[in-house]
Amino acid sequence: MLIFCNYYYSGSCGNKKSGEQKSVIVQPDKTEIDKPEKNQTNNMANHPGKKVYESACLVCHMRNGSGVPGMHPPLTESEFVNGDPDKLISIILKGLSGKMEIQGEIYNSIMPPQAHLTDQQIADVLTFIRGSFGNTSGEILPGQVQKIRNE
């Protein structure tokens, strides 16, 4: 990621002419880019579910799990994420639509089913989400996903 900045010399420093425009390209330190989000625990930074999250969930729920106000609910400290694992698995497999209240805000959007993901991918992404974004819930196993898929 590059940041392009323009700035003007005021004439008070050195021998630059007053009002002279200068362009600078600043590239942030790569270590800053690779740092985990502030709500993401370090042990989840390299979790296999992170890659699934980035490909299947990030667009709606954002990199930090904050969601999009009024459209896509947050995953941060969520009762859905930290609640009944079977219900959470079912949401991933079957999708979800209609009005719901999460953290005091009403959401009325559609989450399409993600049944194309393997049991392992769903277990990984849900374990990642349940251990990130301020959530502290336990692991989801592929067998739990398979059970709900077969119901």
Regarding pTM above 0.75, the answer is no
- Residues 45 and 139: their CA atoms lie apart, in Å, by 15
- Residues 46 and 67: their CA atoms lie apart, in Å, by 21
- Residues 151 and 146: their CA atoms lie apart, in Å, by 9
Q: Which token pair is 150?
A: 């077969």
Task: Please report, for the chain, the start and end positions of each structural domain, with discontinuous segments joined by +.
Answer: 1-35, 38-150
Read off the pLDDT band of 67 (50, 70, 90). Answer: very high
Question: pLDDT digits over 72-127, tens only?
Answer: 999 998 888 999 999 999 999 999 999 989 889 999 999 999 999 999 999 999 99
Q: Which residue has the higher pLDDT, 85 or 33?
A: 85
In CATH, what is the architecture of 38-150? Orthogonal Bundle (1.10)
